[in-house]
């Protein structure tokens, strides 16, 4: 039976550990935070990152990267995308056998627009990369750890690896994995939806209601589609679990950090205050930069994403910026 290494023992790393622990696999979690590592080993909990639920007693954690990487043939990345390149660089120094890399983090690198699969290709010697799978979809750790029914997608250019991850992570009680070959689409949708989630939080923070949020999700999906198609995604992915599915949950759920961060910004806080009050990563803030650069480079019409960028980086007033969207020229849907 495969052994899995989870890089990042945070909220989602713990959710994923719960699933594969329930499914009977051996797991080693790695994190730089020694307190979290000790708590997982001693109490099988991770209260600072995931206040609800418990991990299986068999799940172990370490802060020693070499020990972690040596443990298993499947390496699951679940750290903020801002640190993925540096962690992969460290992994490349200690890796001794080929691994299947699985990414569950959601973000795009500013300036390069690189997806995590491309960063893995750049940072890990080809001899040590068996394959790459992106695991993505509407899946908040707070619900997964309580075994609430959740459906996601495993994407890989190599079907056998997407199917392997599908088998390992699926169970018949609460977690079901679909597969696709559209790696580009799944990675892009997972990253870009966080920018729209920030907008959803902002409009809610401004006091707008469900009509506004529904409009935002619908028009936000159109913008995600425009960017994703230009960068090579399949249209069907946009309407699947990793696209529409994840967009809906992240724009509607109180568990979404991006939505929560947007709420604070809509209520008048700036990005720095907002991020300092968050205990978990807000990927949308970083991806908003990459999205803005992609929009500029390819001359894409994406006014919601641009408004998010203007509010958080150019310090535009949130209410005025959102109302500006209402003044754009009238057009067919």
Identify which of residues 79 and 322 has a Cβ nearer to ligand NAD in the complex: 79
In the region spanning residues 100 to 129, those forming contacts with ligand NAD, defined by CB under 6 A, are 104-107
Give the nearest distance from C-beta 275 to ligand NAD in angstroms: 12
> Nearest residue to ligand NAD, using CB?
10
Backbone phi and psi for residue 132, each to the nearest 5 degrees, phi listed first = -140, 135
- Judged by DSSP in three states, 16 sits in helix
Among all residues, which ones are annotated catalytic? 193
**Partners of 131 in the β-ladder:** 100
For residues 7 and 30, is the Cβ–Cβ distance under 8 A? yes
Question: Among residues 139, 153, 200, 260, which is the contact residue for ligand NAD, using CB under 6 A?
Answer: 139
By the rule CB under 6 A, 12 interacts with ligand NAD = yes
Residue 27, beta-bridge partner list: 4
Footprint on residues 184-203 left by ligand NAD (CB under 6 A): none
Q: Which of these ranges, 75-83, 118-126, 164-172, 310-318, lies near ligand NAD under the rule CB under 6 A?
A: 75-83
Q: Is the dihedral of CA 258, 259, 264, 267 positive or negative?
A: positive
Q: Does 280 bind ligand NAD (CB under 6 A)?
A: yes
Per CB under 6 A, does 49 bind ligand NAD? yes
- Of 22, 23, 26, 33, the residue at the interface with ligand NAD (CB under 6 A) is 33
Closest separation in Å from C-beta 65 to ligand NAD: 8
Q: Does 274 bind ligand NAD (CB under 6 A)?
A: no
- Using the rule CB under 6 A, give the single segment among 3-11, 174-182, 201-209, 311-319 that binds ligand NAD: 3-11
> What is the distance between the terminal CA atoms of the chain, rounded to a whole angstrom?
51
Structure tokens at 237: 């992915």
Near ligand NAD by CB under 6 A, which window of 52-60, 139-147, 202-210, 301-309? 139-147
CA distance 130 to 135: 16
> Looking at 104-174, which runs of residues are DSSP E strands?
129-136, 150-155
Q: Indicate the residue among 13 and 21 with the shorter CB distance to ligand NAD.
A: 13
State the Rg of the chain over Cα.
19
Residue 266 CB partners (closer than 8 Å, separation 6+): 201, 202, 203, 204, 205, 206, 318
For residue 92, count other CB atoms closer than 10 A to its CB: 15
Of 12-20, 181-189, 234-242, 299-307, the window that binds ligand NAD (rule: CB under 6 A) is: 12-20
H or E stretch at 76: strand 74-77
Q: For residues 265 and 282, which CB has a smaller minimum distance to ligand NAD in the complex?
A: 282
Instruction: Give the residues across from 102 on adjacent strands.
Output: 76, 133
Residues that bind ligand NAD (CB under 6 A): 8-13, 15, 31-33, 36, 49, 78-81, 83, 87, 104-107, 139-141, 280-281, 283
């Amino acid at each position: 039976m495969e052994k899995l290494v989870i890089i990042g023992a945070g909220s989602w790393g713990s959710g994923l550990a719960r699933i594969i622990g329930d499914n009977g696999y051996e797991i080693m979690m790695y994190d730089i935070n020694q307190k979290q590592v000790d708590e997982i080993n001693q109490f099988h909990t991770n209260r600072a990152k995931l206040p609800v639920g418990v991990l299986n007693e068999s799940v172990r954690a370490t802060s020693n990267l070499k020990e972690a990487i040596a443990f298993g043939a499947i390496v699951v990345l679940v750290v903020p995308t801002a640190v993925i390149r540096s962690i992969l660089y460290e992994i490349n120094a200690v890796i001794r056998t080929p691994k299947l890399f699985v990414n569950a983090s959601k973000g795009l690198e500013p300036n390069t627009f690189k997806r995590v699969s491309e960063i893995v290709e750049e940072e890990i010697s080809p001899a040590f990369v068996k394959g790459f799978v992106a695991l993505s979809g509407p899946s908040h750790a707070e619900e997964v750890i309580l075994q609430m029914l959740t459906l996601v997608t495993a994407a890989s250019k190599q079907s056998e690896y997407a199917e392997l991850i599908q088998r390992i992570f699926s169970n018949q009680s609460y977690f079901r994995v679909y597969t696709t070959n559209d790696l580009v689409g799944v990675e892009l949708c997972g990253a870009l939806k966080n920018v729209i989630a920030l907008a959803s939080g902002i409009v809610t923070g401004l006091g707008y209601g469900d009509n506004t949020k529904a409009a935002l999700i619908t028009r936000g999906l159109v913008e995600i589609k425009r960017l994703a198609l230009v960068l090579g995604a399949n249209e069907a992915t946009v309407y699947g679990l990793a696209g529409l599915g994840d967009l809906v949950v992240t724009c509607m759920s109180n568990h979404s950090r991006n939505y929560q961060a947007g709420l604070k910004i809509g209520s008048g806080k700036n990005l720095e205050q907002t991020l300092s009050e968050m205990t978990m990563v807000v990927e949308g803030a970083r991806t908003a930069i990459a999205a803005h650069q992609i929009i500029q480079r390819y001359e894409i019409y994406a006014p919601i994403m641009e408004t998010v960028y203007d509010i958080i980086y150019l310090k535009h007033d949130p209410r005025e910026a959102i109302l500006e969207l209402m003044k754009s020229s009238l057009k067919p849907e």
